[in-house]
Structure 1
Amino acid sequence: MKVLKAFALVAALCGAVTAQARSLEDIQKSGTIILASEGQYAPFNFFKGKQLTGYEIDVAEVVAKKMGLKFEWKTVGFDALLTGLAQDRWDLVIASHAITEERAKAVTFTLPHYCSGGQIVSMTPSIAKAGDLASKTVAVQTGTTYLEHVKKVPGVKDVKNFPTDEAARNALASKRVDAWVTDRFVAKEMLAKNAKAGFKPGDMLFIEQVASAVSKGNQGLADAWNKALKAAIADGSIAAISQKYFQEDVTCK
């Protein structure tokens, strides 16, 4: 799942032209919550034709409805999502942001809506474990947790950044890199759709909780979102969405 590099994130948000975030009361008065996502990270958030869809999109819409709100979607590049949140361009971001200590200094997280982690994918069974990445070149998407985690693996020759996860995958397919590290559910869907492409799933490098984010200190909105999310989990709505996209329950246990 995705996360801006810690220091870059804090610097970007501190340097943003910060506006006053809409409170829960303001949102309730308007009747509509403004949600933001990337739209380029299947199966979590992506466009099917002109329709924004995906696990996170469905989850957010169910939660918004349980809050008694209509919703309006905005989509921008991943790196601009939290900056736009600080500028009050939207009320909540849901785009596979991992919960990290550094990010929690800049935004307020909701409860996690799924747990996942970074998985190694290669074109050969000989590259499957963290130790197998020694002397190898690894592809990751720019601005993600995968970058920092791969850098911590002893002996990695190089980490190549790509603007999208798809571009990182294509670099592996064309053998410009030796391995690709991505979200385990992204890898699962890709492997299912490209069974004959030669991709080999490897081990998990790390596990993380993934949550939505609201402006720092906007606790009223976070609490209301959490209450509605808990209700959607309790009534089976989130489990049904999980089954739709992953054929398993992806919520955190």
Structure 2
Amino acid sequence: MRFVARLFTLFSLTLLLNAPAAFARSFEQIEKDKTITVATEGQFAPFNFFQGSKLTGFEVELADEIFRRLGIHVDWKVINFETLLTGLQQGRWDFVIASHAITPEREKVVLFASPHYCTGSVIITSDPAIHGVADLKDKTVAVATGTTSYDWVKANVPQVKDVKNFPQDPDARAAVQTGRADAWVTDRITATASLKTNSQGDLKILPALLYRERVAAVAAKGNEPLVDQWNKTLSALVADGTYDKLSRKWLGADYACH
């Protein structure tokens, strides 16, 4: 899995700022049509992915349940991650849920809902001498390309020996397992799922979060009524225990932003 807080580059921000604006369907229109078009990536287990031909995952089931309670059918669109927010601005879909971390850069161009899970980055290693960030001095750290992990390590571990980029997190994990890197930095949910499905070696997740991130669904600027309805229903799911059941089913723990 890739880290949920995908890197939001200056190039991506420029594309969004220059994207032609389109009129977003209001919640009143969506409610009248009883259908909402929601876009996701479809390649980011356990959040949004395919089991055979079925789109599923934590975010997919969460959105289906929220809009079901609002009396609205979800028409899912599976789109390349990098174009999700641009397409939202262009009015190609009404809503996006694809593990976007809330950042000041993104808030300039889109409207975030309340976070539907909170997470953070951790260190994974088999080196008994590594207990925290300070121990990464003169070490080689593996990260997945297109994540915030690279920038964080470069900014916060100035004496790191090297930061190696790999196409995906399994590749970064393999680099540690084969001795090409001393540690792997990624999201704790990603790390937990990865080690659960691939227990080779003696990798361990260090308990301390390097930083915390809030992850939320996204609507077009000006569509506050849609976001308000989503937020109210999400709060109801948390209150009645439905959120907890979905989170534990897909993520193994309650990741609500308490």
Q: Is 2:253 the counterpart of 1:245?
A: no
In 2: Cα distance, 1:169 partner to 1:79 partner: 24
Q: What residue in structure 1 maps to residue 101 of structure 2?
A: 98
Q: Which amino acid aligns with 1:248?
A: A
When Rg is computed on C-alpha atoms for both structures, the one with the higher figure is 2
Q: Is 2:204 the counterpart of 1:200?
A: yes
Asked if the contact 2:165–2:172 (Cα under 8 Å) also holds between the matched residues in 1, the reply is yes
Q: Is 2:88 the counterpart of 1:85?
A: yes
Number of aligned residue pairs: give it.
Answer: 253
Q: What residue in structure 1 maps to residue 53 of structure 2?
A: 50
In 1: Cα distance, 2:24 partner to 2:50 partner: 28
Cα deviation for residue 182 of structure 1 reads 1.7
Q: Choose from 211, 219, 222 the match for 1:214.
A: 219
Q: What residue in structure 2 maps to residue 38 of structure 1?
A: 41
Q: What residue in structure 2 maps to residue 73 of structure 1?
A: 76
In 1: Cα distance, 2:161 partner to 2:91 partner: 41
The worse-fitting range, judged by mean Cα deviation, of 19-28 and 207-216 is 19-28
Q: Choose from 143, 147, 153 the match for 2:146.
A: 143
Q: Percent identity?
A: 48
User: What does the per-residue CA deviation read over 1:2-28, in whole Å, with 9 as the maximum and x for residues that have no partner?
Assistant: 133353332120122332222112222
The worse-fitting range, judged by mean Cα deviation, of 101-110 and 162-171 is 162-171
Q: Which amino acid aligns with 1:130?
A: V
Q: Which amino acid aligns with 2:143?
A: V
User: Residues 52 and 137 of structure 1: is their aligned pair in 2 closer, same or farther, counting only changes over 3 Å?
Assistant: farther
User: Residues 211 and 195 of structure 1: is their aligned pair in 2 closer, same or farther, counting only changes over 3 Å?
Assistant: same
Could you say what the CA RMSD is over the residues aligned between the two structures, in angstroms? Answer: 2.1
Asked if the contact 1:6–1:103 (Cα under 8 Å) also holds between the matched residues in 2, the reply is no
Q: Is 2:125 the counterpart of 1:122?
A: yes
User: Residues 76 and 197 of structure 1: is their aligned pair in 2 closer, same or farther, counting only changes over 3 Å?
Assistant: farther
User: Residues 165 and 26 of structure 1: is their aligned pair in 2 closer, same or farther, counting only changes over 3 Å?
Assistant: farther
Cα deviation for residue 231 of structure 1 reads 1.6
Asked if the contact 1:232–1:238 (Cα under 8 Å) also holds between the matched residues in 2, the reply is yes
Question: What are the within-5 Å matches in structure 2 for residues 144-183 of structure 1?
Answer: 144-153=147-156, 154-183=158-187
User: Residues 231 and 158 of structure 1: is their aligned pair in 2 closer, same or farther, counting only changes over 3 Å?
Assistant: same
Q: Is 2:195 the counterpart of 1:191?
A: yes
Asked if the contact 1:110–1:211 (Cα under 8 Å) also holds between the matched residues in 2, the reply is yes
Cα deviation for residue 63 of structure 1 reads 0.9
Structure 1-normalised TM-score? 0.90
In 2: Cα distance, 1:101 partner to 1:206 partner: 16
Q: Which runs of 5+ in 1 are unaligned?
A: none
In 2: Cα distance, 1:179 partner to 1:146 partner: 12
